A and B are shown apart, each in its own frame.
Chain A
Amino acid sequence: MTSPGHLIRLADLGKRYPDGTVALAGLDLAVSPGEFVAVVGPSGSGKTTLLRVIAGLEPVTGGTLARGTDDIAYVFQEPTLLPWRTVRGNVELVAQLHRVPRERRRALAQHAIEQVGLAEFAGHRPHQLSGGMRMRAALAQALTVRPRLFLLDEPFGALDELTRNRLCDQLQALYLSERFTGVLVTHSVAEAVYLSGRVLVLSPRPGRILADIPVPLDVPRLPDVRYTAEFAEICGTVAKHLGEAR
């Protein structure tokens, strides 16, 4: 289905909701395997719709969508945790839905819980955790099935800046070790630049891609990179396009 070399390819993609709202129109996008792309745009520009369409949660109403894998993980704005399960049970959930045998599931969950640093809290229920810990549990849940494509919808939007930055570093470390392809929707320009190989700026509704800005910073990126002139310059470019989009 996909043209060689791309994991996701959208051509002239359109999405109109049954109520008549046109969320996306004439959107072209190609993402290569192993790439990490960030999407920024004004509120209501269809960023979430774009992710949902890529995930197959919404049918497209125009153009074509080709996706090279079904091994998808999706981190939603709210952590997808069942309140009656412990952290361990929640992390196992996705593997369970994929019918991974119990023993293997346990091991995968244990590994993922350790990766996000929640080992001490494996027996806690979601309401006993802080917002950041809940999001880490959701990340771990997504990681158990070793996704080839990782979609993240403003996963850190509700968290304080310190927690955000720490989770960004964890996400980067996970990306570097797992080498999935990532698409991150975010409101934060700095977060987009820090994590991605390129930043896409979406226009107001109906969303299409206004700018495609490469981020030629070395990986792994250390927290201090945020204070370099180069980082600031890229953020400036993104912000300029974003300003034009409003």
Chain B
Amino acid sequence: MKRILPPAVVLVAALGLWYLASYVLLSPDRRFLLPPPHAVLRVGFLDRNNLTELLAALGLSAEVALLGLAIATALGVGLAVLMSQARWLERSLYPYAVVLQTIPILALVPLLGFWFGFGFSSRVLVCVLVAIFPIIANTLFGLRSTERHLTDLFTLHRAGRLTRLARLQLPAALPATLTGLRVSAGLSVIGAIVGDFFFKQGHPGIGILIDLYRQRLQSEQLFAAVLLSSSFGVVVFWTFGLLTRWLVGTWHVSERRVR
């Protein structure tokens, strides 16, 4: 009860403000700028056709985001492992990972379109590009922060690189990797929607729908689409939180309950 009440109060207050803005601040002919919550619910979610359209688009965006995230995870962890093997590798590769993080992705988008087409693969690529850095950075940090006495133990018993990686470094890095993954999951969802704004070939993702509703001034559906994609982001974030608890909850400090 104590955990549910405060956010519930905030929700009610926000809905109240929403109604207030809709009915008091806006005249009826400008109400399309902020349709009241029940209108969003009725048009966006309770109308079967509209809902089907939204859910199909969300499904496609989810596919793009999750595929992008999976690729970013495999590639990111792989690169971090590679960089952890030798300082010179880290010195050669890490600056480019940083560059990847700092170039404005929107500036790259037209190029990606030329190279990879204006459809599914470019949308996935945008997700990979925005999601990969937190995974590289966090995993590398985790791989590097194994405790000295444990490293010594492995050295003493002549463990090879692979054994050291599998039995010591990767498990030790797991909490950090998962933290990166949680950040990246959110970014990947954003990437999928941003990608939709530029790559419109094939079935429409939720970003394409948002753009479409904007053009047609269908603000109830626009709001419904925004709400739906936000909730998807929240669900993804929450899922990775659960995953973290499930994977490292029995041993890592961050997940240990205070007794």
Contacts and interface: CB of A to CB of B under 8 A. Distances in A.
Given A72-B156, A76-B152, A80-B153, A97 B163 contact: yes
Contacts of A93: 153, 167
Interface in B208-251: 248, 250-251
B33 interface: no
Contact of A74 (B156, B248, B250): B156
B153 A74 contact: yes
Interface in B165-193: 167-168, 171-172, 174
B252 interface: yes
Interface string A91-107: 00110111000000000
A56 B149 CA distance: 14
A127 interface: yes
A127 B168 contact: no
Given A55-B156, A77-B149, A94-B157, A82 B168 contact: yes
B256 A127 contact: yes
B25 interface: no
Contact of B171 (A57, A82, A126): A82
Secondary structure class of chain A's binding surface, majority of residues: loop
Interface residues of A, number: 22
A164 interface: no
A74 B155 CA distance: 11
A78 B149 contact: yes
A57 B256 contact: no
A93 B154 CA distance: 10
A87 to B, nearest CB: 12
Interface in A11-42: none
Interface string A124-139: 0111000000000000
Interface of A: 52, 55-57, 72, 74, 76-78, 80, 82-84, 93-94, 96-98, 125-127, 145
23 contacts: A57-B152, A57-B155, A57-B156, A72-B156, A74-B152, A74-B153, A76-B149, A76-B153, A80-B149, A80-B152, A82-B150, A84-B174, A84-B248, A84-B251, A93-B167, A94-B157, A97-B154, A97-B157, A97-B167, A98-B157, A126-B251, A127-B251, A127-B256
Interface of B: 147, 149-150, 152-159, 163, 167-168, 171-172, 174, 248, 250-253, 256
